[in-house]
Amino acid sequence: MRALALLLLAAAALPARGDTVVLVGGKKLEGVTVSRNDSEWVVVNPWNSRHPDMTWEIPDKFRFPRAKVEEVIIADPPAVEWRRRTASKLSADERRELAKFCEQHKLADEAAREKALAKMLDDEKALADLLAEAGAEPAPGAKPDPDLDATLRRLEREYVKLADPAELDAQWKRMTERGTTRARPYLERARRSAALPRGRRDKVPLTVRSTEASGATYCIVVPQGYDPLVPTPLVIGLHGGGQGGVNGELVTGSGEDAMPFYEQLAEQWGWIVVCPTARRAPWSNRENEAWMDALFDEMTMLFNVDESRVYLTGHSMGGFGTWHWGPARAERWAAISPCAGGGGPNGVDAAGLPVYVYHGSDDHIVGPGSDRSAAKALLANEKAKKRPDAVYTELDGQKHGFPDWVREDIFRFFAGRTNDRMKRKGAGPVSSFHRKATKEEIRCFGDPAAAPAAAGGEDAKLADLVAKLERGGGSAAEAAEELGKRKDPATAKALARVVKSAKAAPDVRVAAAAALGSIATPEALAALAPVAADDDFKVVDQVVASIGRIGGAASVEPLSRAARKMGAFFDASIQGGQLVFTEYEVRCRSFGRLCDALAACGDAAAASALLEKEVVARVFTPKSAYDVPVDERFTHIPPRARADLAARLRAALDKLGAPRKKEILAPIAAAWSREAEVVRACTVE
């Protein structure tokens, strides 16, 4: 009896789930979480996990033989269920059904909102039918709600597709005559957002405050159904990995490595998912602070983010990062989910954050001890009157993996949570497009309050593009693409000034070098040559790639200096006879660019000598052996890097028609006889 009383007390305190177990005899356990419900057992999970194989530390008092259970009702708390069902697009009928659900559970504001949205969807259909039949349009109303007025919604969708300033002004006039209360900056942001690509994009350069996080990139998935006029949930996913390289500037893992965990879920739920690449490992490193803040600002400027539905998750090093950045920016998140990491709860309880924690019981990379302690700190106090909204799922046999079921359950958990710490009217979303424009937004993306204007003359356009280039990040990449289409000496001269500037950020100089490679004139080569042996390896890499696009005999001398510099970078990376695999991959990739560039120079003798001395003798046949240690997660990386470099070396020698090709490649095949891909690339019949 005492065990049952404790269970009932615990059930009353659980906010995460709303299951009910009716025992034979009439006793009810309400507000619990059932993880197993089959013909043998009903198990109430004190850690709020629904997974039937989650068995860690479930006392016998939470296990009921099926014969002692009369009924099991699986349900979430009404507010959680409403939030989950509104996290994706609904039809008018589904809205009306949800309104009834809200009324049944005394969610008055929510019910009113669902009824209004259902009517708006009906009105949109009626308007479409009216326009299709007669071309008529309802008369202007008196300051309607732009979210609920079907005619205004149609005019807004037309607006965001326009580009001509005169057409935009005319459309805006129609909307004001209709009585819109929507601010024009909202629509200008939506128009800007509508032009951004849907789907996945890799290594997108940060634009906002890029000087504080130079070179920062992210991987993003924008679902195909994204509507820039509708606030959309945002998930930030932190990748795993660790520190790489001798100076800590390289990081194992990336946003691109993490995105496969979330890409399908982004489309399934219709949410935006962004995975940044850490500037330094671990995620708690101070170098990542400006980066994380700038990323959040960039997302809310470029996309119509529902700021009441912003979520944070991460696996492995990303799990540690989630435990760190969750409480560090608690006001930002609706919920967080640290997975296979550690470091909690560290104030999560005090911050009131809903949290879903996952770990594998047999994880030998990062043991579950820290997350178990966090789970106990959050959920083990049965006498607590109010406990955090938390879930802990631990599964056997998963090692350091991240199972599909868990990720899907995390998104279901997220969907049921909104940021209740925000001040907002009603039960609806909070659009980031309602924010007042900051100086940073205006500098990076333009003033959304400014009237659209026609483009200026060629000189003004060049000055604008160079200024955009110098802002760095995504702005620099966009400007470089446009500048690369201009083949005139004035553009090459302007880019030469930027690429040689000691004051310019590295990513700005890289973008300028890329533009010069696209211009591909003698003036462009002259601008690139002085920085061929720069102290920043990223600049050298891009200079080499750009010189390779130009080619010709004049490229040999700057490529010779670049080759020696790349060799120096490689030698400096070896410490104590070891080379971190992350850095090894980067250096091999740099040498691959050198191979491609030398293939275009036309001087077989000079190019062969450089490749043999600076590449072959260092990477494949060194006088002093070095080791590239890896753990079981990354054993494929060094062989892949070697095979790719060997293939690019062979391709360069083939293109050059190098007479000593066989002599250069044979020692590589002999030294790496156990790696079939390397042998295949270096075998000359």
Return the structure tokens found at 2.
Answer: 């005492």
What does the radius of gyration of the chain's CA atoms come to, in whole angstroms? 30
Same domain, 389 and 242: yes
Q: Are 652 and 598 in contact (CB under 8 A)?
A: yes
Asked whether residue 137 is assigned to any structural domain, the reply reads no
Asked whether residue 325 is assigned to any structural domain, the reply reads yes
**Percentage of the residues of the chain whose pLDDT score is greater than 90:** 79
Q: Are 240 and 258 in contact (CB under 8 A)?
A: yes
Asked whether residue 385 is assigned to any structural domain, the reply reads yes
Q: The tokens 């043998």 sit on which residue?
A: 40
| pLDDT score for 421 | 80
pTM of the model: 0.90
Residue 253, classed as helix, strand or coil, is coil
pLDDT in tens, 132-164: 666 666 665 555 677 778 889 999 999 999 999
Q: What residue spans of 434-554 are helical by DSSP H?
A: 439-445, 458-470, 473-483, 489-499, 506-519, 522-528, 537-550
pLDDT in tens, 389-398: 999 999 999 9
Residues 6 or more apart whose CB falls under 8 angstroms from that of 630 comprise 581, 637, 638
CA of 668: how far to CAs of 626, 646, 663, 681, in Å? Answer: 15, 8, 10, 10
In the 8-state DSSP scheme, what is residue 330? G
CA of 431: how far to CAs of 13, 298, 424, 616, in Å? Answer: 33, 14, 11, 56
| pLDDT score for 11 | 39
Asked whether residue 539 is assigned to any structural domain, the reply reads yes
Residue at a domain's end among 408, 434, 460: 434
Q: How far apart are CA 297 and CA 440, in angstroms?
A: 9
Residue 586's domain comprises 532-682
Number of H helices, E strands in the chain: 27, 16
Task: Please count the structural domains in the chain.
Answer: 3
Asked whether residue 286 is assigned to any structural domain, the reply reads yes
Residue 371, classed as helix, strand or coil, is helix
Same domain, 409 and 556: no
Q: How far apart are CA 292 and CA 236, in angstroms?
A: 10
Q: How far apart are CA 102 and CA 116, in angstroms?
A: 13
**Percentage of the residues of the chain whose pLDDT score is greater than 70:** 93
Same domain, 541 and 421: no
Q: Which residues pair with 393 in a beta bridge?
A: 358
| pLDDT score for 422 | 79
Asked whether residue 95 is assigned to any structural domain, the reply reads no
**Average pLDDT score over the chain:** 91
pLDDT in tens, 673-683: 999 999 999 99
Phi, then psi, of 228 in degrees rounded to 5: -65, -10
Of 88-97, 100-109, 349-358, 446-455, the poorest mean pLDDT is in 446-455
Asked whether residue 576 is assigned to any structural domain, the reply reads yes
Asked whether residue 147 is assigned to any structural domain, the reply reads no
Q: The tokens 């697009």 sit on which residue?
A: 89
Residue at a domain's end among 398, 414, 434: 434
Packed helices 289-302 and 184-194: angle between N→C axes, nearest 10 degrees: 100
Residue at a domain's end among 410, 434, 458: 434
In the 8-state DSSP scheme, what is residue 232? E
- Does position 18 have pLDDT exceeding 90, yes or no? no
